[in-house]
């Protein structure tokens, strides 16, 4: 299990008191904000689901970059890919925005002085796995290999906590989680297990409890700095990019959401897929769910260019 023995219970997602006068978050995608009733609600989880190569990563980079204009700070990219497939986050960021993603180290946790020195950058991209080339679902690994993956992730938890906590201290309020591969059941995927931990025990948790998890016996010595740099976790928004086995938009729309499925628990779900137009295939999106807001129920075409995604 990834959860530590001293974890508190999950903080529930609350959106019932949010209304349309809440300042919306821009997705950074021309035409998409209008379809979402003005944008995404802050502090919520959005899942973008679609097959490999459909445009999810471009959308994620656009969402993260839009934080520069709205919050004064670009978002974070948390890459959980493990099979060696190039996600191209850095390439897209450079090409679309001239934005150089800085990779955070995976082999060490920043010391307290580095962590609380807000002038010291910690990196805005973390690829949590050191090696790649294997699927990471229970059914694809022998028992010992599965245990090895679990042990590796347990070692990486402090690196992951420090990456998010340190960047939240520095003003980041957007997270793009990428690289989750399809699995028959979420419980079989170590990537889903990791995302559940990150979402509930870091992104949706009070700043001081995240600091306690990270600093542990050093927390009391730094309690003053923790409080002086408090942030509101309810303003942290997450965009999860999920690679689906379905490529056609119609198949995605008809997909049944299981109880406990990450899609069923998200505030907003956006499907990206292919549609048939005569003897050609083109790309289109559909907003399957958007709690707390009216939104379009149309199937809307979109294009991917060197500058990213444009909807409508």
Say what the pLDDT of residue 297 is. Answer: 87
Q: How far is CA 198 from CA 126, 161, 297, in A?
A: 13, 8, 31
Angle at CA 85, nearest 5°, toward 84 and 91?
A: 115
Tokens of 199: 């979402």
264 is in which domain, residue-wise? 41-273
Instruction: Say what the pLDDT of residue 16 is.
Output: 38
288 belongs to a structural domain: no
Q: Give the residue-averaged pLDDT of 151-175.
A: 92
Residue 308: pLDDT over 60: yes
CATH number where 133 lies? 3.40.50
Residue 143 inside a domain? The answer is yes
Cβ neighbours, 10 Å, residue 278: 6
Domain count, the chain: 1
pLDDT in tens, 221-231: 999 999 999 99
Judge whether 226 lies within some domain.
yes
Residue from 297, 155, 144, 212 nearest 6 by CA: 212
Cα dist from 175 to 90, 137, 146, whole Å: 15, 24, 27
pLDDT in tens, 109-157: 999 999 999 999 999 999 987 655 555 566 666 777 767 767 777 778 8
For strands 125-127 and 76-79, give the pairing: parallel
Residue 144 lies in a domain: yes
**CB-based contact 161:202 (threshold 8 Å):** yes
The predicted pLDDT at position 134 comes to 56
C-alpha to C-alpha distance for 200 and 29, rounded to whole angstroms? 27
Q: Is residue 289 part of a domain?
A: no
Does the residue 6 lie in any domain?
no
Q: Kindly report the average pLDDT of the chain as a whole number.
A: 86
User: Closest Cα partner for 127 from 81, 196, 89?
Assistant: 81
User: What's the alpha-carbon Rg for the chain, to the nearest Å?
Assistant: 19
Q: What is the pLDDT of residues 29-53, one digit of tens each?
A: 999 999 999 999 999 999 999 999 9
Q: What is the DSSP string of 220-273?
A: GGGHHHHHHT---GGG-EEEEEEE-S--BHHHHHHPPPPTT-HHHH-SEEEEEE
Residue 16 within any structural domain of the chain: no
What value does the mean pLDDT take over residues 166-177?
Answer: 98
Give the model's confidence band at 306: pLDDT under 50 very low, under 70 low, under 90 confident, else very high.
Answer: very high
Residue 262 lies in a domain: yes
Closest CA to 80 of 214, 205, 189, 237: 189
Burial class (CB in 10 A: 0-12, 13-18, 19+), 228: exposed
pTM surpassing 0.95? no
């Amino acid at each position: 299990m990834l959860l530590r023995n001293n974890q508190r219970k999950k903080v529930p997602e609350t959106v019932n008191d949010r209304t349309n006068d809440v300042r919306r978050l821009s997705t950074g995608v021309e035409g998409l904000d209008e379809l979402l009733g003005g944008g995404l609600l802050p502090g919520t989880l959005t899942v973008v689901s679609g097959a490999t190569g459909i445009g999810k990563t471009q959308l994620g980079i656009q969402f993260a970059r839009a934080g520069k204009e709205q919050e004064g700070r670009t978002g974070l990219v948390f890459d959980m890919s493990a099979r060696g497939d190039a996600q191209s986050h850095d390439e897209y960021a450079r090409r679309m925005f001239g934005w150089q993603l800085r990779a955070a180290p995976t082999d060490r946790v920043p010391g307290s002085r580095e962590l609380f020195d807000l002038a010291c950058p910690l990196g805005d991209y973390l690829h949590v796995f050191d090696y790649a080339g294997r699927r990471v679902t229970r059914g694809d690994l022998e028992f010992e290999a599965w245990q090895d993956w679990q042990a590796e992730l347990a070692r990486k938890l402090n690196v992951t906590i420090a990456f998010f906590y340190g960047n939240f201290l520095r003003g980041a309020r957007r997270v793009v989680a990428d690289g989750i591969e399809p699995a028959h059941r979420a419980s079989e995927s170590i990537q889903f297990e990791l995302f559940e931990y990150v979402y509930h025990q870091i992104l949706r948790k009070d700043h001081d409890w995240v600091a306690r998890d990270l600093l542990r016996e050093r927390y009391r010595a730094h309690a003053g700095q923790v409080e002086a740099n408090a942030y509101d976790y309810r303003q942290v928004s997450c965009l999860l990019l999920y690679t689906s086995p379905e490529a056609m938009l119609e198949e995605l729309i008809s997909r049944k959401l299981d109880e406990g499925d990450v899609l069923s628990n998200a505030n907003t779900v956006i499907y990206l897929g292919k549609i048939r137009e005569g003897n050609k295939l083109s790309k289109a999106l559909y907003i399957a769910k958007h709690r707390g807001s009216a939104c379009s129920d149309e199937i809307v075409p979109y294009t991917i260019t060197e500058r990213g995604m444009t909807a409508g």
